Amino acid sequence: MANGKASVAVAARGVSKIFGSGSNEVRALDDVSLDIRTNEFFTLLGPSGCGKTTLLRLVAGFESPTRGSIFLDGEDITAEPPNRRPVNTVFQSYALFPHLTVAQNVAFGLEMLGRPRKEISDTVARMLALVRMEQLANRATSQISGGQQQRVALARALAPRPKVLLLDEPLSALDLKLRKEMQIELKRLQTETGITFIFVTHDQEEALTMSDRIAVMSAGRILQIGSPEEIYNHPAGRFVASFIGESNFFEGTVHNVRGNSVEIRMPSGDMVTAHSLSGKPEGSVTFAVRPEHVRLEQFGTSGTLAATVTDSVYFGTDTHCHLELDGGERLVARLQNKVSGGPGYEKGMRAGVRFDDGAAQVLAD
């Protein structure tokens, strides 16, 4: 920390990356700027083709930007080759050496750096303990599971103590249960080592589970950067709101604005209070409400929106009630189930819809 502010490990300034030319030109990154803090678990999140892996490769030095600069600890490393950067990468394919043991795989990078034998031995032991693989040190990597191979790849990447560890969707090959376990393990490793992690994924759950901050990307641009809570509860626009979790979207016309509180008239004539975190909205707007912030009450209750249940889907922990407002808008309410069963709203029933205070968010686009 300096002057109460977190230091910056990696910075991008006005970075663009263009592949091809003319009619075949592809703009993978379009004027991207961001700061990634020291000792931060930072995630680049977005759909396939959004530019997240390209940005990761620019930090690693595997690609060069068409325009802009990459900085590491304040130094411009844009022209530095990969082997001159204190950065390591864990790929989707772990790229372990099958003819070497677990310990030999972890030691390989240190040997290439010419580290003393004692240092290599001590570091390998420490890294295997960190990833909880001590008992398999002498096992061939071809004889261990996918989850164990991922741990070995992490230990090998962490062994030289890089300033930054880049992770390119390293959990994608694992089954669901193991992937969830490794999400917790990755965050533990980042916390214990104090190394800056930059993680690439298209999986919103991975991003929300592990990250200190998330950058949501689309079409080569960063749409929003924030903590998981900020991204989820206060999405900057419709793409972010739809990509991170589920949202109900509504259209309406601004009737009155008081600070961050916006009164919106829906097509049915009903009035809804929403919140706006960017400017003073006017005219036609879109607002979003998460399904878990939709409440159902007795039909006709004062202050509720009249609706009809069009479907009810039981999910064990909760039930998703699909509804149609009398104004024609469709939405989903996610209702917590009880020990005795579902919440009791069945297809065809009439209900009153209410949004939790602060749940309706006016979107910037």
Q: Domain 246-362 is classified in which CATH homologous superfamily?
A: Nucleic acid-binding proteins (2.40.50.140)
Q: What is the pTM of this model?
A: 0.87
Rounded to 5 degrees, φ, ψ at 275 are -120, 140
> CA-based angle 214:220:225, to the nearest 5?
20
Segments in 194-279 forming alpha helices (H) = 204-210, 228-233, 238-243
By the 8 A CB rule, do 106 and 122 touch? no
By the 8 A CB rule, do 239 and 218 touch? yes
Q: Could you report the per-residue pLDDT of 78-125, keeping only the tens digit for each? A: 999 998 999 999 887 778 888 889 999 999 989 888 899 999 999 999
By the 8 A CB rule, do 290 and 360 touch? no
Task: Report domain extents, the chain.
Answer: 8-238, 246-362
Nearest Cα residue to 41 out of 168, 189, 204, 239: 189
At the second CATH level, the architecture of 8-238 is: 3-Layer(aba) Sandwich (3.40)
Nearest Cα residue to 293 out of 347, 218, 361, 348: 361
Q: Could you report the per-residue pLDDT of 188-244, keeping only the tens digit for each? A: 889 989 999 999 999 998 999 999 999 999 999 999 999 999 999 999 899 999 999
Examine the pLDDT at 2 and tell me if it is beyond 80: no
Q: Could you report the per-residue pLDDT of 168-204, keeping only the tens digit for each? A: 988 887 778 878 888 888 898 899 899 999 999 999 9
